[in-house]
Chain A
């Protein structure tokens, strides 16, 4: 069993839909990261959080430390949100990554 599990693996949506991606982890962490990876490889950090909730534009990330679970929400999804979303945890200096959720948003 992977230390970081994401669901779903693949997700398709119509433009405007509310999207939720889930992440569960089994190790002790100091922070959880949500990352976005576009075709071609570039990875961008979206959020780093250790408790509660963070919001940036249409993106919302929450974490429940007791349940070892985090969610990434996208409100009013848009085709430009199509990418792979990766959850990663840090318990020390390095990141442990999930396998990613591939999101496709159609017009």
Chain B
């Protein structure tokens, strides 16, 4: 399968614990996005990378959240000191990200569902 993959698919943790999610994009894709989706809502943008550079972060991304894409391939999203309000589906997407292209199709992973008890 050469699509976007995310691990783990499900994570249950206790309040105050740290969690880390991984996203592996489609191999030739330069751009990688993280979104968060709560029940009954559409996804909300968190952050995105062009290769290894993190170009934009949403105000939703508090100091407890950090994302990396160290070699411009896979990415990790870490949440420190989790809170019950962090419970959501965390979605990763990737796109070609061709320079000068206004927009291109994003391909989504299956998501990581986080439950904070």
Contacts and interface: CB of A to CB of B under 8 A. Distances in A.
Interface of A: 4, 30-31, 33, 35, 40-45, 48, 86, 88, 90, 93-100
A40 B40 CA distance: 13
Interface of B: 31, 33, 35, 37, 40-45, 48, 55-56, 89, 91, 93, 102-108, 110-111, 113
Contacts of A88: 42
A65 B91 CA distance: 29
6 contacts: A4-B42, A41-B37, A42-B110, A86-B43, A100-B41, A100-B42
Contact of B48 (A4, A31, A93, A98): A93
A30 B103 contact: yes
B111 A41 contact: yes
A88 B31 CA distance: 18
A95 B45 contact: yes
Nearest to B31: A93
Contacts of A96: 45
A55 to B, nearest CB: 17
Contact of A94 (B37, B40, B41, B45): B45
B32 to A, nearest CB: 11
B103 A97 contact: no
Contacts of B43: 43, 86, 95, 97
